[in-house]
Amino acid sequence: MMSDVESQLLAELGNCQSIDDSAEYAATHDLRHHQLAGVIKSLLAAGLVEGQEQRHASYALTQEGTSYLESGSPEAQVFAATPIEGIPQAELLQKLGLVGKVGIGQAMKLQWIMLDKTGGQPVAKRKVAEIADGVQKILQSIASGNTEGIAKQEADGLKKRKLIIPETRMSYKLTKGPKFALQRKRAATDLTHDMLQSGSWQDQEFKAYNFNALGLPPTGGYLHPLLKVRSQFRKIFVAMGFQEMMTNAYVENSFWNFDALFQPQQHPARDAHDTFFLTNPASTPAERLPQQYLQRVKATHEQGGYGSIGYGYSWKVAEAEKNLLRTHTTAVSSRMLYKLAQEGFKPAKYFSIDRVFRNEAVDRTHLAEFHQIEGVVCDKGLTLRDLIGTLKMFFDRLGLKKLRFKPAYNPYTEPSMEIFSYSDELGKWMEVGNSGMFRPEMLRPMGLPEDVSVIAWGLSLERPTMILYGIDNIRDLFGHKVSLNLIRKNPLCRLGL
């Protein structure tokens, strides 16, 4: 363990005041010097020791030099293979191979053997009775780490023969540092709540900040699956000539969210069990609403008009003033249609994709907030046939080509239809949205001409996203429990392919 090596090194310094050569210390204590060097650098950074680098010229064996450690140098092998009576050179070379070719020249240079050519064929013969293999001894000394007794001339000769290579060995001379201690006191990297409460931070040593250190390179951002699918829906709407509505106001008042849509004030959807009402500010003064329009809405609710008998109740301004988190983006549509009527009617196509809020129990298919997609077409003479045709065109671009429609009820549309599409993947029909034609009781008080009709439809953004990405629980798609891995690795989205 490196901690044991560190403690042992500090204890050694405490006893002898200095360590002259860390390499010798490593050899004495059966350690690898590169491991000890890591401990020394850590102690130097902490100020526990002071060190002076020492460079030592040394040598290392090449692969060829290592091969001669046991068998001896080529010249010694040649001498050993040459008997007293001699041996033909060809036979000697065949016996020793490449070593013989190198060794014969070196042995002759050292006057250990000679080549007798008097008989025609060269014969290797000994010139001395015995030899000392100095090359082997030097190689063995280098292998054991003892290079001090090697003469420069001898080392140069072995380098020329490529048996050794020079190397520089690093070591340290160590003395006690300004913060020397027999045991390292770890510096804290964070100022914690417990330190502040106990006051221990006053005596705690903290690690210094390195302001020149480079941080991790920032990675690119990742698009949430909802953003990818939303982008595809937006492209479809724009391609169909729709204009996006401004949907940045999450807080709405009850007048635009309910009353302007001809939704009665006693409707269950306006109960606190279904809607998030604000407590501060709890209401928007009625004086800030269009007064003439407000009176027309009030009269329509109470007495009817435009072919309707109304709801026949006493409409209260205080109820219309209540602030809430919008329950649908149709509140934005009501504002846009009123503005269109005041500026002078002209055909228009609007869409919105944004967040809405419902006071619902959270489960695997429902959240208290979700995204609503809404399309609105306003023109003269529109009929149910136009609504069905527009829906087929819209959902065809989503890749949903099999549609069915079922009659439904909405307070502000008549007729109303639920939209179903057949899923080949699931093998069944499933509901994909709601639609209808805005009632005259909603449109005429705004000031829109009597021959103007408005068709509209809406669906959630979460449901198609869950189907596309194979997500079974809506809480795995949206909210604080979403896996960051899903955000990083979710595939591209292409609708209608």
| pLDDT (tens place) for every residue of the chain, 497 residues total | 567 887 888 887 878 888 888 877 887 888 887 788 888 888 888 788 888 888 877 888 888 888 888 889 888 888 888 888 888 888 888 888 888 888 888 889 889 988 888 877 888 888 888 889 888 898 888 888 777 778 888 888 888 988 888 887 788 888 888 887 777 777 788 889 999 999 988 888 888 888 888 888 877 788 888 899 899 999 999 999 999 999 988 999 999 999 999 999 988 877 866 889 999 999 999 999 999 999 999 999 999 888 899 989 999 999 999 999 999 999 999 999 999 999 988 999 999 999 999 988 888 878 888 899 999 999 999 999 999 999 999 998 888 888 999 999 988 899 999 999 888 877 889 888 999 999 999 999 999 999 999 999 999 998 888 888 888 888 888 888 888 888 888 777 776 54
Residue 426, token pair as written in the block: 């699931």
CA atoms within 13 A on the CB side of 222: 13
In the chain, the amino acid numbered 375 is: G
Q: Tokens 């392919």 — which residue? A: 497
Q: CA–CA separation, 314 vs 299, rounded Å?
A: 10
Q: Kindly state the helix (H) or strand (E) to which residue 195 belongs, with its residue range.
A: helix 193-198
In the chain, the amino acid numbered 305 is: G
How far, CA to CA in Å, does 19 sit from each of 38, 190, 207, 331? 16, 34, 27, 82
- Describe the strand order of the beta sheet including 87-88 as a list of residue ranges: 87-88, 123-126, 113-116
Give pTM, 2 decimals: 0.58
pLDDT of 496:
57
pLDDT of 397:
87
pLDDT of 54:
83
**CB–CB of 328/356 below 8 Å?**
yes
**CB–CB of 371/353 below 8 Å?**
yes
Cis peptide before 264 (omega within 30 of 0): no
pLDDT of 25:
81
Q: CA–CA separation, 185 vs 125, rounded Å?
A: 73
Q: CA–CA separation, 253 vs 463, rounded Å?
A: 27
DSSP 110: T
Write the secondary structure of the chain as one string of H (helix), E (strand) and C (coil).
CHHHHHHHHHHHHHHHCEECCHHHHHHHCCCCHHHHHHHHHHHHHHCCEEEEEEEEEEEEECHHHHHHHHHCCHHHHHHHHCCCCCEEHHHHHHHHCHHHHHHHHHHHHCCCEEEECCCCCCEEEECCCCCCCHHHHHHHHHHCCCCCCCCHHHHHHHHHCCCEEEEEEEEEEEEECCCCCCCCCCCECCCCHHHHHHCHHHCCCECCCCCCCCCCCCCCCCCCHHHHHHHHHHHHHHHCCCEECCCCCCEEEHHHHCHHHCCCCCCHHHCCCCCCECCCCCECCHHHCCHHHHHHHHHHHHHCECCECCCCCCCCHHHHHEEEECCCCHHHHHHHHHHHHHCCCCCEEEEEEEEEECCCCCCCCCCCEEEEEEEEEEEECCCHHHHHHHHHHHHHHCCCCCEEEEEEEECCEEEEEEEEEEECCCCEEEEEEEEEEECHHHHHHHCCCCCEEEEEEEEECHHHHHHHHCCCCHHHCCCCCCCHHHHHHCCCCCCCC
In DSSP terms, 464 is beta-bridged to none
